[in-house]
Amino acid sequence: MDLSKIPLFEMLTRRMSWLSQRQEVLAHNIANADTPDFAARDLAPLDFRRSLRDTGAATATRTHAAHLGGGAQPQPFRDAAPRSRYETSPSGNGVVLEEQLMKVAETQVDYQLVTNLYRKHIDMIKVALGRGQS
């Protein structure tokens, strides 16, 4: 069974991918905390409605050539619009380590949540198929 065809698992996978990319961006921000004129970046929040529409979970699926097509192709993640800096160092660096570390912790907790949801749904499918523990 190909789990990537199930919209729920596709959305969970997309969320995990977004969280991984966000972790990379935050790590890059922290690594450049002493770089002159460096501005912290972040990813735009993942839009649940758009993600639901892109997976085709809420749209019709093409079952015949004469029928309309399915959902749109997923778009790559983008940077959030840069906000004005409220704290800068004398060198012009706009990275606030406390803020970045809070975002890292939030991202880690969200990733653990999505991982647990993924695992629990796999376990439910196994039980439904008679291969799991009841």
Q: What are 93-105's pLDDT values in tens digits?
A: 888 899 999 999 9
DSSP one-letter string for 106-129: HHHHHHHHHHHHHHHHHHHHHHHT
- Domain containing 117 equals 3-128
SS3 79: strand
Q: What are 58-111's pLDDT values in tens digits?
A: 555 566 666 555 444 555 666 666 666 566 666 778 888 999 999 999 999 999
Q: Please indicate whether residue 1 or residue 90 has the higher confidence score (pLDDT).
A: 90
Say if pTM beats, i.e. exceeds, 0.75: no
Whether residue 133 is contained in a domain is answered as no
Total domains in the chain come to 1
pLDDT of residue 52: 66
Q: What are 2-34's pLDDT values in tens digits?
A: 776 788 888 899 999 999 999 999 999 999 999
